[in-house]
């Protein structure tokens, strides 16, 4: 998918296997108009590249005939410099091929920290990326989506990016509808922009929105509990990973979402969910809570927070925190068989934390 100001007649993408030696193919798609009403920075002396309103075209090309667990290079016809890479998901029964993905959150690239973080984290070495919310910050005054896209090129050209909704997706009137929901209107294999699910190699991923109702009885809660039960019944099920914006556990310069935590903890414990990823607090934290690892990875380039600001307010939670740091960072996660390997890399390329977690495969024993 890519956006243009003018309609494109038969948008076309050329693609071939990343390793070479395969057939160079092409595919055509559609160019659909969108009336973008949200505007920011027009006429402002502070904003070099404003987001203007008007008719924009979203060009979408579906690539078919791809092999599972494989990576491809692609280029847009007429704009060969605007291409990138994509990797396909693994077959459900393929539990032996490693799954590598990248995690980043709270990116504010106009402050010029995010670029270093992406360069150090090397998302191009992963198959896909997860973004734990707050993609772009109008509150930094100088940042717009016109600025955001070229500054985020290293991440966006490395493969698919699966986001979740953060509080900064609602900073100006129309932002959520005209930008977030337009560009990420159907990121997963089922669901919608607010909550969705996808799977690779028997590992299932669930994106939730802490900015929408998530308590027991809500549409999101009922969807999550039903889908977790459904995927656990699949013959090739391994385990599930959940990602959302506001952390269930944090003692940094924000507060844990205690009501959401009370609603979700029994669900996470009942099902085989060994890892929960979040952002929002602009720092790094890892909590070990029973069989579940909770990670706050929210220092993707925005202003750094005090990771110890609320230790006194939540002493029981603080006792569960095993790692933390006030540094810019992103994460690399590798799944091999029944083991999750996680490493947290700062903007200088130094590994600041790492963990290995062995996960019993299949549905969790209710006893």
CATH of the domain at 123: 3.60.21.10
- Could you tell me if 31 and 142 lie in one domain? no
- Could you tell me if 132 and 197 lie in one domain? yes
361: pLDDT strictly greater than 90:
no
Give the residue numbers spanning the domain of 353: 94-358
- Could you tell me if 224 and 303 lie in one domain? yes
- Could you tell me if 80 and 135 lie in one domain? no
Domain assignment present for residue 312? The answer is yes
- Could you tell me if 78 and 143 lie in one domain? no
SS3 260: helix
Whose structure tokens read 């243009």? 4
Residues 120, 208: Cα–Cα separation, whole Å:
28
- Could you tell me if 71 and 118 lie in one domain? no
Residues 77, 24: Cα–Cα separation, whole Å:
13
29 C-beta neighbours (distance < 10 Å), count = 17
40-65 per-position pLDDT tens digit: 999 999 999 999 999 999 999 999 99
Domain assignment present for residue 366? The answer is no
Torsion of CA 227, 233, 237, 241, to 10 degrees: 30
- Could you tell me if 41 and 166 lie in one domain? no
193-248 per-position pLDDT tens digit: 999 999 999 999 999 999 999 999 999 999 999 999 999 999 999 999 999 999 99
Domain assignment present for residue 365? The answer is no
In the chain, the number of structural domains is: 2
With contact defined as beta carbons under 8 Å apart, do 241 and 204 qualify?
yes
Mean pLDDT across the chain: 96
Of 48, 64, 84, which closes a domain?
84
Of 84, 119, 141, which closes a domain?
84
94-136 per-position pLDDT tens digit: 999 999 999 999 999 999 999 999 999 999 999 999 999 999 9
367: pLDDT strictly greater than 70:
no
Q: Give the residue-averaged pLDDT of 73-82.
A: 90
- Could you tell me if 163 and 247 lie in one domain? yes
CA 354 to chain centre: 20
Domain assignment present for residue 63? The answer is yes
366: pLDDT strictly greater than 60:
no
Q: How far is CA 189 from CA 76, 124, 185, 192, 272, in A?
A: 24, 22, 12, 9, 20
Residues 252, 55: Cα–Cα separation, whole Å:
42
- Could you tell me if 72 and 201 lie in one domain? no
362: pLDDT strictly greater than 80:
no
- Could you tell me if 231 and 333 lie in one domain? yes
Domain assignment present for residue 89? The answer is no
Domain assignment present for residue 283? The answer is yes
- Could you tell me if 224 and 112 lie in one domain? yes
For residue 59, what are the contacts with CB-CB under 8 A and spacing of at least 6? 1, 2, 3, 4, 8, 11, 29, 30, 31, 32
Domain assignment present for residue 290? The answer is yes
166-199 per-position pLDDT tens digit: 999 999 999 999 999 999 988 999 999 999 999 9
- Could you tell me if 242 and 289 lie in one domain? yes
81: pLDDT strictly greater than 90:
no
5-32 per-position pLDDT tens digit: 999 999 999 999 998 778 899 999 999 9
Domain assignment present for residue 364? The answer is no
Of 64, 84, 104, which closes a domain?
84
135-155 per-position pLDDT tens digit: 999 999 999 999 999 999 999
């Amino acid at each position: 998918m890519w956006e243009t100001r003018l309609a494109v007649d038969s948008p076309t993408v050329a693609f071939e296997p990343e390793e070479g030696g395969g057939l160079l193919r092409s595919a055509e798609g559609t160019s659909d108009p969108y009336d973008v009403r949200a505007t920011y920075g027009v006429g402002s002396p502070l904003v070099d590249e404003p987001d203007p309103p008007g008719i924009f075209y979203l060009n979408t090309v579906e690539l078919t005939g791809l092999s599972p667990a494989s990576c491809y290079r692609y280029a847009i016809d007429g704009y060969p410099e605007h291409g990138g890479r994509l990797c396909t998901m693994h077959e459900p029964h393929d539990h032996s091929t490693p799954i590598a993905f990248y995690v980043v959150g709270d990116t504010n690239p106009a402050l010029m920290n995010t670029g270093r973080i992406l360069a150090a984290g090397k998302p191009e070495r992963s198959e896909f990326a997860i973004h734990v919310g707050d993609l772009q910050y109008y509150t930094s005054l100088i940042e717009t989506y016109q600025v955001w896209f070229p500054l985020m090129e290293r991440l966006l050209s490395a493969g698919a990016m699966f986001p979740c909704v953060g509080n900064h997706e609602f900073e100006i009137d129309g932002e959520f509808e005209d930008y977030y929901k337009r560009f990420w209107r159907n990121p997963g294999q089922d669901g919608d922009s607010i909550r969705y699910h996808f799977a690779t190699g028997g590992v299932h991923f669930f994106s939730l929105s802490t900015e929408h109702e998530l308590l027991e009885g809500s549409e999101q809660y009922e969807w999550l509990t039903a889908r977790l039960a459904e995927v656990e019944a699949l013959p090739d099920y391994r385990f599930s990973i959940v990602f959302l914006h506001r952390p269930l556990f944090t003692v940094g310069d924000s507060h844990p979402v205690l009501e959401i935590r009370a609603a979700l903890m029994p669900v996470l414990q009942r099902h085989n969910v060994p890892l929960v990823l979040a952002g929002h607090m602009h720092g790094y934290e890892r909590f070990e809570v029973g069989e579940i690892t909770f990670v706050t990875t929210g220092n993707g380039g925005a202003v750094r927070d005090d990771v110890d600001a609320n230790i006194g307010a939540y002493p029981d939670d603080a006792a569960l925190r095993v790692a933390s740091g006030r540094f810019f960072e992103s994460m690399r996660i590798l799944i091999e068989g029944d083991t999750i390997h996680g490493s947290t890399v700062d903007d200088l390329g130094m590994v600041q934390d790492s963990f290995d977690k062995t996960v019993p495969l299949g549905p969790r024993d209710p006893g």
